[in-house]
Amino acid sequence: MQIPGRKGKDDDSWSEIARRSVVVMGYRGAGKTTFVGLLAVHIDYLASKGSGITYHFEPSVTNFPRVLWGEILRKIRNGDKIDATQYSKAPYVGRLVAKYPKLLGKVELNIPMIDLAGELYQPIMDFIIDSRSQNFDYEKWNKEFKQKLENFGITKDDLQFINDFIFKGKAYLITINLAHAFKSISHSTNNASDDTVQLSQDEIDKLLDKYLNIVTNLIYYRIEQGDIPHVGIVLTHYDVVRDYVEGRLGFTPLKDEDSRRKLMNYIGSIIINPLKDLRKDVPIFISHYKKPIRPEPDNEAGVMLPDYPKKEYDKIIEWFKDILK
């Protein structure tokens, strides 16, 4: 396993993959798997219009086989909810690999999903903070980190991927469950049901604090290394809070950028302000999905699609193009 600055014989090949990766980060229940599934569904939609875009999934751990992604995509297409506790049991469950010559040229885009609030949290924080000390025991840290991940049945190759994705990825997409964010500030969303991981207000507070702490520290570490990543935010489960946001608060984040910033500040400036200090161009994307209402008039190929914000996913793919230049 190689840490940035510690060159190994396979480091170049791993790093090449990492440098064309957009890492989807989140805690269990943040919406990582659903977001990446929606991205794959959107790619299918674009492909049906003759755009030349293709994708496939590269699985990782043995308990998350490729066939499981077929079931995830089937549920998303039907607008069925995904049980986070069933599908997110490991800190790294593989990656979506996309090719889109029209926008990305010959570049192959990797989109791994990594849980930064679970078992990965403490060892990564230890490395970021303690590695600055002259007394830092790299061998001890490396051994403990590997042991933690091997307990999940993760392979040596996956260990290397996780390391390079986290420390060398081209960009981070930070996922935040809006239902959790609103609950953490004690605001009702008209009793809308959220069937993601059920957490108390105190548990959500601690989870978001720990999660955002490592994200900002990780980006600071990258800046110290002279390797500034791009950063974007994906606000998931918008359907759960939409009536409250648009009816009570008067924000329309799906229509204008100013409302997105207002929404971010409303759920907590502690989230967006540190990131804006690190990078001035932090886009905010909105995600949600539900059962389709009617056939889409522009879906001539008959691709089964849920009701989701297509324009948001168009913007995400355009962002991929910009950051991979």
233: in domain: yes
Q: State the CATH number of the domain containing residue 240.
A: 3.40.50
Look at residue 246 in the predicted model and tell me its pLDDT: 94
Look at residue 274 in the predicted model and tell me its pLDDT: 63
* pTM, two decimal places: 0.84
CA distances from 1 to 6, 119, 120, 149 (A): 9, 17, 15, 12
1: in domain: no
∠ CA 255-259-31, nearest 5°, is 80
3: in domain: no
Q: With a cut of 70, which residues of the chain have pLDDT below it?
A: 1-14, 61-67, 84-90, 117-122, 152-153, 156, 186-199, 269-280, 293-302
Domain assignment of residue 82, given as a range:
11-323
Look at residue 1 in the predicted model and tell me its pLDDT: 32
Look at residue 265 in the predicted model and tell me its pLDDT: 84
Q: What are 61-95's pLDDT values in tens digits?
A: 555 556 678 888 889 988 988 776 444 456 777 78
> What tokens does 122 get?
């403490």
- Give rounded-to-5 percent helix, strand, coil for the chain: 50, 15, 35
Q: What are 280-307's pLDDT values in tens digits?
A: 678 999 999 998 866 565 555 567 889 9
2: in domain: no
32: in domain: yes
Number of structural domains found in the chain: 1
Look at residue 33 in the predicted model and tell me its pLDDT: 86
222: in domain: yes
Kindly give, in sequence order, each residue whose CB lies less than 8 Å from that of residue 226, ignoring residues fewer than 6 positions away: none
120: in domain: yes
- CA nearest to 199, candidates 210, 184, 220: 184
Look at residue 250 in the predicted model and tell me its pLDDT: 95
Look at residue 64 in the predicted model and tell me its pLDDT: 58
State the distance between the two ends of the chain, measured CA to CA, in whole angstroms. Answer: 29
6: in domain: no
